[in-house]
A and B are shown apart, each in its own frame.
Chain A
Amino acid sequence: MKKTMISHKVEQMPPSGIRVFFDLVLGMKDVISLGVGEPDFVTPWHIRESAIYSIEEGYTSYTSNKGLVKLRTYITQDLKKRFGLHYDVDEEILITIGVSEAMDLALRALINPGDGVIVCSPGYVSYAPIAELAGADVHRIILRPDNGFKVTPEMLRQAITPGTKAMVFNYPCNPTGVSYTKKELSAINRVLERHGVFVISDEVYDELTYDFSHTPFATLPGARERTLYLNGFSKAYAMTGWRVGYACGPKEVIAAMTKIHQYTIMCVPIMSQMAACEAVIGTRKPVEEMKREYQRRREFVVDRLNGMGLSCHKPQGTFYVFPSVKKTKMNAMDFASRLLKEKKVAVVPGTAFGPEYDGHIRISFATGFDKLKEAMDRMEEFMDEI
């Protein structure tokens, strides 16, 4: 047998079983897609305009590894204003290529081979693979629909071992839309504090929280020194393609992450950073308008889905719902494939977010209301026909 050139670690990474389905969707025409993991809005004009201007002005160079001082200043000021969170502009913040890079840096900076990392399932696709790539021993907490896909202190107590070093936490959560109140977070924090578990908190959907105000994990009592706060511009400002995120946390961790960042990425493209500056200091009107729109669609979609027998919780944040397809007696992949072929509506099978979720699908309501309506009608027809 031919010896592979590929490293053992990468060889062992599970291939995304869902790729085939994704290719099927991408190859089809006239599909209404409820499978998109990004806002359906274009980046607000004032942000785009500021990037164009920066290019015209000749801002085409590298920036400091940590990111433009201006951007770091704006972000830290904004965090202070919104949450009372204080981070030092020189030592406690790093601008990254979206939250994705920040997550990778964090895991590589923190993990020694065999260290335990807790992730919640269903969860965003990258956490477990990049933790494993960093050498972590990943422990998945399997969340269940009967308690609304929430992680509880009890679940954590059971999951934590003496080897547990960190937990990757994401709320509001992709794919379930679940978020946590301050009280719930405090209870979680107490368990993690007792066992000295470091928290990598992906809060990229924080602006899209609907039923209560978002509490950053780092604001909980005693949590700041054990928490890495990750956020970015993709979701709130409809800036997915710009790839700008940031990490805030204890200076030791930020310094370690910056070391890797400077050798691999050097810096985030300056035009994207300039655009992000405008996003933070410019008008918040478009952000609020988008949020209102998502909130309305949420009501509509949850109502329609439950009405047609695809039971789901009302998400507290994000633009996702994670309904059950159990009533159809089909598994998620069959459901998604048939829905695509017969009604030209695309959804993501739940198995993409954890092998246990073959009874669920993820529906994104980041789609214009007219299309959303049409998609719901088609799904209802589908449910009547099967």
Chain B
Amino acid sequence: MDVILELLQKDARITPQEISKLTRIKVDEVKKRIKKYEKEGILLGYRAVVNKEMVKDKESEVRALIEVKVAPQKDLGFDKVAERIYSFPEVKSCYLLSGSYDLLLVVEGRDLKTVSRFVSEKLSPMENVRGTVTHFLLKKYKEDGIEMKSAEEDRRLAISY
């Protein structure tokens, strides 16, 4: 992976000037590559990682992982059904898996009722959906490589040889 992407993934606030200083790639070249990645859909966005364990967000108080069994369609496989499902704004993530079920969804809603209603009224009745299992999420420890805890303090002596 391009080192520019690596650095942006770690810290989206890093400026092209800083990237240039760290990598010795010229600033203009850094900017050019970032533009290109944005255009090509490689860089999809820049956002903060919020520890939702610590803040109240009414619209996503309740999260659930939902296993979905799907009947694949002729010629289209799972893609079309998946698209119909992941287009709902409640669906935050959607994966196709091997194993005993087909799709895994991460769904967010303001309360248990909202999520349950999404499952019973939107998801389950869909033509190709054969069954669902809903797991409500109790606690998030780590996501995308980030541990949901505050930074560890530096335990080293402030000065040493």
Q: Which of A25-33, A85-93, A191-199, A250-258 contacts B (4 or more CB under 8 A)?
A: A25-33
Partner of B22, one of A38, A174, A300, A352: A300
Judged by a CB distance under 8 angstroms, whether A36 is at the interface is yes
A40-B156 contact given A125-B161, A174-B161, CB 8 Å threshold:
yes
A33-B158, A35-B158, A299-B23 known; 4 new pairs, CB 8 Å cut-off, are A26-B159, A28-B158, A36-B156, A300-B21
> Are the CB atoms of A299 and B161 closer together than 8 Å?
no
Chain A interface mostly helix, strand, loop or mixed?
mixed
Which of B18, B21, B24, B157 has most A Cβ within 10 Å?
A: B21
Q: Which residues of A sit under 8 angstroms from B156, Cβ to Cβ?
A: 36, 38, 40
> Are the CB atoms of B158 and A296 closer together than 8 Å?
no
Partner of B158, one of A26, A299, A352: A26
Name A's B-contacting residues (CB within 8 A). 22, 25-26, 28, 31, 33, 35-38, 40, 42, 124-126, 174, 296-297, 299-300, 303-304, 346, 348, 352, 369, 373
Chain B interface mostly helix, strand, loop or mixed?
loop
Bound complex: CA A3 to CA B20 (Å): 63
Bound complex: CA A379 to CA B112 (Å): 54
> Are the CB atoms of B160 and A35 closer together than 8 Å?
yes
Interface flags for B99-134 (1: CB within 8 Å of A; 0: not) read: 000000000000000000000000000000000000
Interface flags for B14-28 (1: CB within 8 Å of A; 0: not) read: 000010011110000
> Are the CB atoms of B22 and A36 closer together than 8 Å?
no
> Are the CB atoms of B22 and A42 closer together than 8 Å?
no
> Are the CB atoms of B159 and A299 closer together than 8 Å?
no
Q: Which residues of B sit under 8 angstroms from A36, Cβ to Cβ?
A: 156-160
Q: Which residues of A sit under 8 angstroms from B158, Cβ to Cβ?
A: 25-26, 28, 31, 33, 35-36, 346
Interface flags for B120-159 (1: CB within 8 Å of A; 0: not) read: 0000000000000000000000000000000010101111
> Are the CB atoms of A303 and B161 closer together than 8 Å?
no
> Are the CB atoms of A348 and B159 closer together than 8 Å?
yes
Q: Which residues of A sit under 8 angstroms from B152, Cβ to Cβ?
A: 42
Bound complex: CA A369 to CA B158 (Å): 17
Q: Which residues of A sit under 8 angstroms from B22, Cβ to Cβ?
A: 296-297, 299-300, 369
Partner of A352, one of B7, B23, B154, B161: B161
B: contact size bracket: 10 to 19
Q: Which residues of B sit under 8 angstroms from A300, Cβ to Cβ?
A: 18, 21-22
Bound complex: CA A42 to CA B154 (Å): 9
Partner of A37, one of B7, B24, B154, B161: B161
B9 → chain A, closest Cβ, in Å? 13
Residue of A nearest to B158 (CB): A33
Top 3 nearest A-B pairs (CB, nearest first) are A35-B159, A296-B22, A33-B158
Interface flags for B24-44 (1: CB within 8 Å of A; 0: not) read: 100000000000000000000
A98 → chain B, closest Cβ, in Å? 12
Residue of B nearest to A373 (CB): B18
Bound complex: CA A352 to CA B21 (Å): 30
> Are the CB atoms of B159 and A346 closer together than 8 Å?
yes
Q: Which residues of B sit under 8 angstroms from A299, Cβ to Cβ?
A: 21-24
Bound complex: CA A204 to CA B22 (Å): 25
Bound complex: CA A25 to CA B156 (Å): 13
Bound complex: CA A239 to CA B158 (Å): 17
Bound complex: CA A300 to CA B14 (Å): 13
Partner of B157, one of A26, A174, A304: A26
B139 → chain A, closest Cβ, in Å? 20
Bound complex: CA A36 to CA B158 (Å): 6
Interface flags for B56-68 (1: CB within 8 Å of A; 0: not) read: 0000000000000
Bound complex: CA A299 to CA B7 (Å): 14
Q: Which residues of A sit under 8 angstroms from B161, Cβ to Cβ?
A: 37, 124-126, 174, 348, 352
Residue of B nearest to A125 (CB): B161
Partner of A296, one of B23, B159, B160: B23
Bound complex: CA A297 to CA B161 (Å): 20
Bound complex: CA A187 to CA B25 (Å): 35
